[in-house]
């Protein structure tokens, strides 16, 4: 710690930027968003729906929650055209707060679907304009540091929210929803300190290859909110469907569908299949998310040393083995099964650090044409797979039992792994050698 303090003093003395240079007061709003949307909601929503509805209902509600993320291009376009970033940030936070507060009082599946959609939409609005504000208000040379710190706030909020979920996920989870709603209302205060006004001129969205440095969550992931997929991008994808990049997108999509099914039902699966109380599974998730933060830097180093595709395949293999452990544990149901299930899930979470880094790198390397089109297709695949995965997970659990969801994780990761194995062509091998 003393060394860090001395380094900061040296930077200030020499006029170099310190970590305080990159942080703005409104970043706290983003941390509060992480608490509610990435920490509390993924635990409380499935538990609340599952206690009074079916497992398929959980999948539908989580699918609606993820579907809200697809509204991100709309909010990005409004922010670009009218330069109302601060207003949209506050509106997104307030909308999420109202939807969270109202959810415990919703009894019909229709009302829950609408409120889940509202939560995801509000989160998408807030996350989109927050990240775009940095891009449009600061020079490109500062994006790395500023976006990195913004995502650090979000990741810390997620871990804290998961710990809160562990203490509020009892038989009556209304307290957790009210805490989440209150957090969103409080988040509006630092949002008012968002200073500056970008020019209200629609510009082409810049290419941002920054993986989301927080545990996997299909809704609320800043990585997915930068680009809109237009007709030109879709036509380009159809023309290059059999190209290495097209095969990679299919591999990514199938693997993400499987894992999204498990994530959407996580607290219910841990309780029903493995006998782990939601208070413990929430803490286990928080520990795994914290551990995953330490693998982002190594993932980049390993990609440079061994190649992005190799690290990507290693991460998928890790998930295949982790889901296999979860499946066997669920079938055998032995005494220490709960602890082993938490360990298996931790490897699923940690693997995301490698996948998010290598996924964006592979997109940048192998997408033919403009990188922005490729990244837009990559993010669209992620978002759509999250919606489908949640719905398919709930339906399959209802049809064949909750233990079957781990099979979806095995199948999705296995198909992705096999398809990634045929990506290697002379062109892609040359790219790997050049790296």
Residues 265 and 188 both lie in one domain: no
pLDDT for the residue numbered 368: 64
pLDDT in tens, 248-282: 989 999 999 999 999 999 999 999 999 999 999 99
In this structure, is residue 6 part of a structural domain? Answer: no
In this structure, is residue 57 part of a structural domain? Answer: yes
All residues at 6 or more sequence positions from 14 whose CB lies less than 8 Å from its CB, including other chains: none
Residues 251 and 124 both lie in one domain: no
Residues 189 and 51 both lie in one domain: yes
3-class SS of residue 89: helix
Average pLDDT, the chain: 84
Residues 187 and 331 both lie in one domain: no
Residues 391 and 314 both lie in one domain: yes
Residues 304 and 183 both lie in one domain: no
End residue of a domain, out of 145, 176, 198? 198
In this structure, is residue 210 part of a structural domain? Answer: no
All residues at 6 or more sequence positions from 235 whose CB lies less than 8 Å from its CB, including other chains: none
In this structure, is residue 141 part of a structural domain? Answer: yes
Residues 267 and 47 sit within 8 Å (Cβ to Cβ): yes
Q: Give the phi and the psi of residue 66 in degrees, each rounded to 5.
A: -70, -35
3-class SS of residue 422: coil
Residues 397 and 54 sit within 8 Å (Cβ to Cβ): no
Structure token pair of residue 265: 């039902």
Note down the domain range covering 124. Answer: 23-198
Residues 185 and 273 both lie in one domain: no
DSSP letter string, 12-74 = HHHT---HHHH--TTHHHHHHHIIIIIIIHHHHHHHHHHHHS-HHHHHHHHHHHHHGGGGHHH
Structure token pair of residue 307: 């190649």
Residues 218 and 383 sit within 8 Å (Cβ to Cβ): yes
Share of the chain above pLDDT 70, in %: 82
In this structure, is residue 349 part of a structural domain? Answer: yes
**By C-alpha distance, which of 259, 257, 284 is closest to 351?**
259
pLDDT for the residue numbered 82: 84
End residue of a domain, out of 151, 175, 198? 198
Q: Per-residue pLDDT for 14 more than 50?
A: no
What is the biggest distance separating any 2 CA atoms in the chain, rounded to whole angstroms? 65
Q: Give the phi and the psi of residue 192 in degrees, each rounded to 5.
A: -70, -15
Q: Could you tell me the pLDDT band of residue 435, with boundaries at 50, 70 and 90?
A: very low
pLDDT in tens, 180-223: 999 999 999 999 988 877 765 555 555 556 667 777 665 556 55
As for how many domains the chain has, the answer is 2
Residues 167 and 308 both lie in one domain: no
Residues 183 and 249 both lie in one domain: no
In this structure, is residue 7 part of a structural domain? Answer: no
pLDDT for the residue numbered 394: 95
pLDDT for the residue numbered 273: 94
Residues 295 and 352 both lie in one domain: yes
CA 380 to each of CA 237, 240, 285: distance values in angstroms, whole numbers, following the listed order: 12, 16, 26
In this structure, is residue 300 part of a structural domain? Answer: yes
The CATH number covering residue 326 comes to 1.20.1250.20
In this structure, is residue 3 part of a structural domain? Answer: no
Rounded CA separation 205/197 (Å): 17
Structure token pair of residue 50: 């599952």
CA 102 to each of CA 97, 117, 118, 161, 289: distance values in angstroms, whole numbers, following the listed order: 9, 13, 11, 19, 28
Residues 103 and 191 both lie in one domain: yes
């Amino acid at each position: 710690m003393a060394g860090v303090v001395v380094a900061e003093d040296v930077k200030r003395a020499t006029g170099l930027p310190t970590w305080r240079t990159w942080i703005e007061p409104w970043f706290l709003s983003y941390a509060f968003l992480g608490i509610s949307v990435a920490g509390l909601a993924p635990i409380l929503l499935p538990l609340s729906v599952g206690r009074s509805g079916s497992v398929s209902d959980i999948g539908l509600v989580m699918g609606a929650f993820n579907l809200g993320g697809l509204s991100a291009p709309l909010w990005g376009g409004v922010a670009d055209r009218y330069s109302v970033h601060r207003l949209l940030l506050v509106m997104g936070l307030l909308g999420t707060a109202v939807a969270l507060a109202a959810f415990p009082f919703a009894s019909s599946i229709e009302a829950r679907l609408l409120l889940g959609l509202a939560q995801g939409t509000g989160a998408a609005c807030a996350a989109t304009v927050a990240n775009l504000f940095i891009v449009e208000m600061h020079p490109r040379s500062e994006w790395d540091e500023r976006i990195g710190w913004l995502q650090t706030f979000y990741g810390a909020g997620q871990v804290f929210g998961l710990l809160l979920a562990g203490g509020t996920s009892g038989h009556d989870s209304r307290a957790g929803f009210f805490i989440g709603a209150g957090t969103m209302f409080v988040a509006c205060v630092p949002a008012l300190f968002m200073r500056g006004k970008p020019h209200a001129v629609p510009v082409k969205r810049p290419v941002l290859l920054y993986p989301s440095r927080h545990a996997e969550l299909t809704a609320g992931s800043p990585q997915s909110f930068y680009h809109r997929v237009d007709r030109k991008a879709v036509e380009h994808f159809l023309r290059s469907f059999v190209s290495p990049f097209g095969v990679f997108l299919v591999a990514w999509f199938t693997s993400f569908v499987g894992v999204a099914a498990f994530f959407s039902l996580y607290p219910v699966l841990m309780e029903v299949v493995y006998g782990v109380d939601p208070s413990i599974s929430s803490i286990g998730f928080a520990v795994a998310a914290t551990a995953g933060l330490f693998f982002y830097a190594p993932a980049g180093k390993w990609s440079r040393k061994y190649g992005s595709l190799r690290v990507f395949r290693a991460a998928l293999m890790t998930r295949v083995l982790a889901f296999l452990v979860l499946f066997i544990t669920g079938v055998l149901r032995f005494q220490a099964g709960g602890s082993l299930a938490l360990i298996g899930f931790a490897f699923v979470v940690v693997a995301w650090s490698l996948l998010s880094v290598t996924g964006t790198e592979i997109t940048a390397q192998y997408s033919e044409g403009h990188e922005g089109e490729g990244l837009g297709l990559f993010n669209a695949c992620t978002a759509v797979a999250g919606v489908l995965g949640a719905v398919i997970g709930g339906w399959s659990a209802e049809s064949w039992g909750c233990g079957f969801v781990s099979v979806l994780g095995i199948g999705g990761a296995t198909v992705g792994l096999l398809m990634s194995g045929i990506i290697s062509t002379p062109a892609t091998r040359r790219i790997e050698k050049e790296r």
